[in-house]
Chain A
Amino acid sequence: MDSMNFNIKPTYDKKINKSDLVKLFWRSIPYEHSWNYERMGNVGFAWAIMPILKKLYPKKENFVHALKRNLELYNMTPYIVTLPLGISVAMEEANATNPEFDESSISAVKLALMGPLSGIGDSFFWGTLRVLATGIGTTLALKGSILGPILFFLVFNIPHYILRYYGTFLGYSLGSNVINNVESSGVMDKITKYASMIGMMVVGAMTQEMVNVKFITKIGVGKSASTVQSLLDGIFPGIATLALFGVTYWMLKKKLNPLMIMLIILLVSIAATYFKILGA
C-alpha cells in the first residue's frame, strides 16, 4: 500500500497516454456549465471523458453504450472533478482491454466517491480557500485598490488549477484504490480538520474587521457626554458586533430563510437610522 500512495506519475502501459490525460484536464473546465437539476453534472462529466471513450471503444455501439453510462447523475465539487474523472478513465481502460472486467464497478466507484470527495472539496474550496481569498481581496478592494480583485482571483485560482491538474494524474494512477488509501491513512480527516480550523479563524477575523456597527446615541450632557459605542467598547472591543453576530446565527439556527434575515437587517438598519441609534 505504501508504494502506491499519491503517485502522480502514472505508468502508461495500455492505451491511454499522458496527452489524453492533459486533454481530460482541459475538458474538465466547463464541467459545471451544463449543471442541471435533473442529473446535475452528468453532461459535464460525459463531455470531459468523451474523447477517451472514443479512443477506448473503437466500435460505435460500444462507444454509445459507454457514453450513455457516463450520462447518469453525477455531482462533484468542480475543482476536483478531475480526480473521479481520472479514476473512471483507469477503469474504462481496464474494461476496454479486459473482457472479464465487471462494467458495473465503474459506476459504483464513481458514485461512491460523490459523497466523501464532495464533502471535503466543498469545505476546503468554499469554506477555507474562498474565505481566505475574500478576506485578502475585500480588505484591499474596500480601500479602492485594484490589487484587491486581482489577489482575490489569484489566491483562489492558483491552488484551484494546481489541484485540478494534478488530480487528473493522481486519479488515473490510483484507479479504484484511491479512496481506500486516502481514507485508511486518515489524510482526508486531517485535511478537513485543519482546513476548517483555518477557515473558522478567518471567518472570526473577517466578522470583526468587515462588519461595521456604530451606536451614535449619546449619554450625558455637554463635555462629559459619551456615545453608547465608547461605553460598549469599554467592556471589550467588538462586543456589539459579536452580539449581533449571535443574533443572526440564532436566526439561521431557527431555520429562518436567509432572504428573510436579509430583509430584517435592512429594516432594522433603516429604523435605527431614523431614530438616530445607528450611524454609518
Chain B
Amino acid sequence: MILKTFLIFLVGLLGYSEWLLGTSYLQRPIILGPLVGLVLGDLQNGIIMGATLELAMIGAVSVGAYDPPDLVSGSIIGISLAIETHAAPAAALTLGIPIAAIMQALGLATGQPLMLAFIHRCDNAAEKGNTRALTRNMLIAGYIQDWPGIVFIPLAFYFGSSTVAKLLNIIPAFIQEGMNVAAGLLPLLGFAMLAQMMMNKKVVPFFFLGFFLVAYAGISTTGVAIFAVIMAAIMYVFFDNSKETENTGKNEVVQEGDGFDEF
C-alpha cells in the first residue's frame, strides 16, 4: 500500500509537470488513467475510466484566461478510488469531478499567491544578473502553485478507498445508475463549449456534416477526420480564390477571444 501510494504520488507529480514538459497534454485523464491503472494492476479499467473522464472534461483546457478544474487530482483520485473499490467507470466521474473543482479553488486561493512570491524572486534574480537563482525560482514557482494537489493526491489515495467503498454502498442504486447516464450526457457540455468557441456562420454546416455522417453512415470519428482533411485539401486546391481578400479570418480570431470572456 505504501509503495502504491508512492507510485500514485509520482503519477501526480508527472501530471503537474505538464507545463514543465512542453504542455504536451500529459495531464489529460486519457493519459493519467492508464498510468493509474498500471500502478493498481488494472490497466484495462484505467484506460476506459481515463477515456470516460476525458470526454466529460473535454472542455477543460486552459486557453486565454479560463482556469479549468484541476484535472490531475480529479483524474488520479477519481480513477484510483474507482478501481480500488471495483466500481463502474462512471464512478470515476462521481468521485473525480468534485475533487477537480475543489482543488482548482484551493489552488487559486493559496497556490497562485505563493507562486507570485517566487515570480517576484525571479525579478530580483534578474536584477542581480543571477541566472541560477532565476532558474531555481522559476522551477519552484511552477510546482508551488499546485501544492494542494501534490499533497492531497497521496493522502486521499492512502486513507480514502475504504471510506469511499462504504459511501458507494450507501448511495442508492438509481443515483449510481444516474451517474452512468450522466457519463453519456456530460460530453455534450464539452462539445458545446468547443463548438461555441469555433462557431460562426461559415462553419456551421460542417458541424452538421460531421454529425450526420456518423448518424447515417456510421463512419467513426477518425473516418470523419480523414474525410475532413481530404475535403479541406480539395477545397484549397480547386476552389480557393487567393485573389479574393479574406477579412473573415480575422473576425473569427476576435470571436474566439470573446468566447472565453464568458467563463
| Chain A residues near B (Cβ < 8 Å) | 29-39, 42-44, 46-47, 50, 54, 60, 63-64, 67-68, 71, 78-79, 115-116, 119-120, 122-123, 126-127, 130-139, 141-146, 148-149, 152-153, 156-157, 160-161, 164, 186, 188-190, 192-194, 196-214, 236-238, 241-242, 244-245, 248-249, 251-253, 255, 257-259, 261-262, 265-266, 268-274, 278-280
Contacts of A43 in B (CB 8 A): 119, 122, 134, 138, 141
Encode contact with A along B24-54: 1 for CB under 8 Å, 0 otherwise: 1110101101100000000110011011101
Which residues of B does A touch, CB under 8 Å?
19-26, 28, 30-31, 33-34, 43-44, 47-48, 50-52, 54-55, 58-59, 61, 63-64, 69, 90, 97, 101, 112, 115-116, 119, 122-123, 126-129, 131, 134-135, 138-139, 141-142, 145, 174-175, 177-189, 191-200, 202-204, 206-216, 219-222, 224-225, 227-229, 231-232, 235-236, 240, 242, 245-250, 252-254, 256-257, 262-263
Is the CB–CB distance between B51 and A120 below 8 Å? no
Q: Indicate if the CB atoms of A188 and B196 lie closer than 8 Å.
A: no
Given contacts A190-B246, A265-B188, contact A29 B22 (CB under 8 A): yes
The listed residue (A54, A120, A244) touching B131 by CB distance below 8 A is: A54
A-B contact pairs, 24 of them (CB 8 A): A32-B23, A36-B116, A46-B126, A47-B135, A71-B123, A78-B19, A119-B257, A120-B253, A126-B63, A132-B225, A141-B48, A190-B236, A190-B249, A196-B252, A201-B227, A203-B195, A205-B211, A212-B183, A238-B214, A252-B196, A258-B263, A262-B186, A265-B182, A268-B185
Q: Are B47 and A141 in contact, CB atoms less than 8 angstroms apart?
A: yes
Known contacts: A152-B30, A201-B206. The answer to whether A186 contacts B246 by CB under 8 A is yes
Known: A134-B55, A145-B47. 18 other contacts (CB 8 A): A68-B123, A71-B123, A135-B225, A144-B48, A146-B34, A149-B50, A157-B25, A160-B24, A189-B246, A189-B250, A200-B195, A200-B199, A205-B213, A211-B191, A244-B185, A265-B182, A270-B178, A273-B181
Residues of the B chain whose Cβ atoms lie less than 8 Å from the Cβ of A186 = 242, 245-246, 249
Q: How far is the CA of A261 from the CA of B191 in the complex (A)?
A: 13
Partner of A190, one of B44, B179, B225, B240: B240
Q: Which residues of A contact B192 (CB under 8 A)?
A: 245, 248-249, 251-252
